[in-house]
A and B are shown apart, each in its own frame.
Chain A
Amino acid sequence: MFYREAGQFKTTYAADQALFPIHQDRYAMMVILAIAFIGVPLFASDYWLTALLIPFLVFSLAALGLNILTGYAGQLSLGTAAFMAVGAVAAYNFQLRIPGMPILLSFLLGGATAALVGILFGLPSLRIKGFYLAVATLAAQFFIPWLVTKVGWFSNYSASGVISAQPIEILGKAFDSPQEKYLLVLAIVALLALLAKNLVRSRIGRAWMAVRDMDVAAEVIGIRILRTKLIAFAVSSFYCGVAGALYAFAYLGNVEPDGFNLDLSFRILFMVIIGGVGSILGSFLGAAFITLMPILLDVLLTHGSRAFNLNLEPGVTSMVQLLVFGALIIFFLIVEPHGLARLWQITKEKLRLWPFPY
């Protein structure tokens, strides 16, 4: 009843091809964007902005990048964090070495550098696939942070190899308060998400899906596998690279290359799987789940145990947190292997009929 498309007629091709063909979706999206751009900066506390929302957006972007590669083009990668590192280091160096460099251009170039590196490490995908490819991407995961630590030039010869990101300044305006940083990240992420949404339903997006579903058939109908896969690696790494630059500049400030470790790669892969493989919305849902769930668990356990006077030792809460997090992941995979995005889809279908199911 709330979600009926009956009576919404499409009279033009443009209307038929709209991003959100149904009114409800379109209005909902507008409301969400309005809340995100206007409501949140007005009302959210600094804690929410700096500790939850900025990392959530940054991770969403990285998950989006990985989802393009894994979800749409079908190439499993465990090296996401390494490509983020490339983006962060490259953006830092563009900013450092070229005087008067606009920071947004640095982010873009950081993404572009990551794309080049991505193509390089995507080359083996021409020969191998599946888990063999996944383990092979680990080569990137271990090699790139090593290289950044070893070659002092990348971190401007800082004794410890740590990169101190420059302050963000656009057209003379400094973006240093949590609200400003949040808005900047949000704008970039929203733009890139829109781009991704359009990309995956374009010619190239359909080619990715064809390769993912059956590469031989794709080749037969005239899709150039080599090119398609490499474009997927490039686009995916570009997204990850921009996410890495934002991670360094808008979130942490100072980053050590070791921070871009395998753990982070797994975390982002989780976001994709839990959120929904091959879904833009899923990347956001997954990022929300993986960034917020551990914090929620922590808060619930700490305060829950205090409320019930359980007086758990701090060590025990940490362990229980880890245990519950693992169990939750398994639980969600069992209940809905297609991710939260699919759950949302089911909910939508229910809403369409409710309260008068057949």
Chain B
Amino acid sequence: MSFFFEVLIGGLLAGVMYSLVALGFVLIYKASGVFNFAQGAMVFFAALTFVGLQEKFALPFWGAFVLALAAMVVLGILTERIVLRPLVNQPQITLFMATIGLSFFIEGLAQLIWGTNVRRLDLGITDEPIAAVLERFDMAISSFDLAAALVAGVLVTVLAVFFQVTRVGRALRAVADDHQAALAVGIPLRQIWAIVWSVAGFVALVAGLMWGARNGVQYALTFVALKALPVLILGGFESVLGAIVGGLIIGALEKLAEVYLGPHIGGGIEGWFAYMMALLFLLVRPEGLFGEKRIDRV
């Protein structure tokens, strides 16, 4: 039984790592209705810029963090200016395609600037099982995972406060509700979009640091987007809370399935299991767990 709980907890903590990536998707979809496939590339770009700066100029953590964040903000503003603005009012699929093009561009740019070398990223958090828990319950719970959960918690709180309390946050919610109505009451749409993309860049940076610290900063970071997609369907594209809860559910069920079901049907089922699960769930509840009901039914 203790093994079951170990898998469950491990899964939940892995789910937190998925949520970190999913958050970026949600923010942009919420504010601009764009399904931003380039989020994975942004995670890669952010992490690579961070380690690149650290390596090249021997910057301390916060220095590199601030500079990388600045780079993400510039990237966000340029994206709004060059890609999104000319595509206003185009069908969603066109915007989606544009973000795939954007992801090629960002991947090329990142590697052109910093090279293809795989780099180590050290956040100073050890990724080892906590000895006390290991002895007492015979469960390997990594301190790094707990730190990630903490970061995700803080991030969601900050975002929630930002959305609820600040002026910009309220404008964001208005834009998410209805672009035209928001424009009519004098909310500067373009500015809001630039802000949203910058915030998504910030989330990408945080996600990139957490994933990069575990697996090294390399091209494969772009693949984390694929882990986030089922989380999105399950949680709903428009809900920050959904991204967190969806991540936890997907993480836990995926790990349980791989450990208990996988060996009987050949293993390696994680690649599709989350998608299948999300698909079945959608049949029951087409708007996701916390998605907005206005998604038209078929």
Contacts and interface: CB of A to CB of B under 8 A. Distances in A.
Q: Do chains A and B touch in the complex (CB under 8 A)?
A: yes
B279 A136 contact: yes
A131 B287 CA distance: 11
A329 B278 contact: no
A277 B275 CA distance: 26
Contact of A127 (B86, B278, B282): B282
A130 B92 contact: yes
B83 interface: yes
B67 interface: no
A287 B230 CA distance: 29
A76 B112 CA distance: 33
Contacts of B272: 139, 142-143, 146
Nearest to A126: B298
Interface in B215-259: 226, 229-230, 232-233, 237
B35 interface: yes
B109 A269 contact: no
Interface stretch (B50-58, B68-76, B98-106, B204-212): B98-106
A262 B226 CA distance: 10
Contacts of A125: 298
Contacts of A270: 97, 100
Nearest to B291: A132
B93 interface: yes
A122 B17 CA distance: 31
Interface string B278-297: 11001100111000000111
Interface string A226-269: 00000000000000000000000000000000000010001001
A150 interface: yes
A33 B35 CA distance: 40
Most buried by B among A124, A127, A315, A330: A330
Interface string A313-355: 0011001111111111110011001000000000000000000
A329 B283 contact: no
Nearest to B101: A329
A192 interface: no
B153 interface: no
Contact of A128 (B91, B96, B286): B286
Interface in B72-121: 82-83, 86-87, 90-94, 96-98, 100-109, 111-112, 115-116
B204 to A, nearest CB: 17
A301 interface: no
A1 B111 CA distance: 50
A225 interface: yes
Given A132-B282, A136-B282, A315-B116, A320 B108 contact: yes
Nearest to A133: B282
A115 interface: no
Given A136-B275, A322-B104, A326-B103, A76 B269 contact: no
A324 B298 CA distance: 39
A277 B298 contact: no
A316 B112 CA distance: 6
B146 to A, nearest CB: 30
Interface string A100-142: 0000000000000000000000001111111110011011001
A84 B284 CA distance: 29
A148 to B, nearest CB: 12
A127 B283 contact: yes
A322 B282 contact: no
Contacts of B232: 135
B63 interface: no
B268 interface: yes
A131 B100 contact: no
A135 B227 CA distance: 12
Contacts of A325: 104, 108
B14 to A, nearest CB: 18
A120 to B, nearest CB: 12
Contact of A76 (B93, B109, B226): B93
Interface in A139-188: 139, 142-143, 146, 150
A273 interface: yes
A329 B233 contact: no
A135 B226 contact: no
Nearest to B87: A334
Nearest to A216: B296
A215 interface: yes
A131 B92 contact: yes
B94 A135 contact: no
A327 B93 CA distance: 17
Given A330-B101, A333-B87, A320 B112 contact: yes
A43 to B, nearest CB: 34
Nearest to B109: A323
A142 B104 contact: no
Given A319-B111, A322-B107, A333 B98 contact: yes
30 contacts: A70-B93, A76-B93, A124-B283, A128-B298, A129-B296, A131-B237, A132-B233, A132-B295, A136-B233, A136-B275, A139-B272, A139-B275, A139-B276, A146-B269, A150-B266, A150-B268, A262-B226, A270-B100, A273-B97, A274-B97, A316-B112, A320-B108, A320-B112, A322-B104, A323-B112, A327-B105, A329-B101, A329-B104, A333-B101, A337-B91
Interface of B: 35, 82-83, 86-87, 90-94, 96-98, 100-109, 111-112, 115-116, 226, 229-230, 232-233, 237, 265-266, 268-269, 271-272, 275-276, 278-279, 282-283, 286-288, 295-298
Interface of A: 70, 76, 124-132, 135-136, 138-139, 142-143, 146, 150, 215, 225, 262, 266, 269-270, 273-274, 277, 315-316, 319-330, 333-334, 337
Nearest 3 Cβ contacts at the A-B interface:
A326-B104, A323-B108, A326-B105
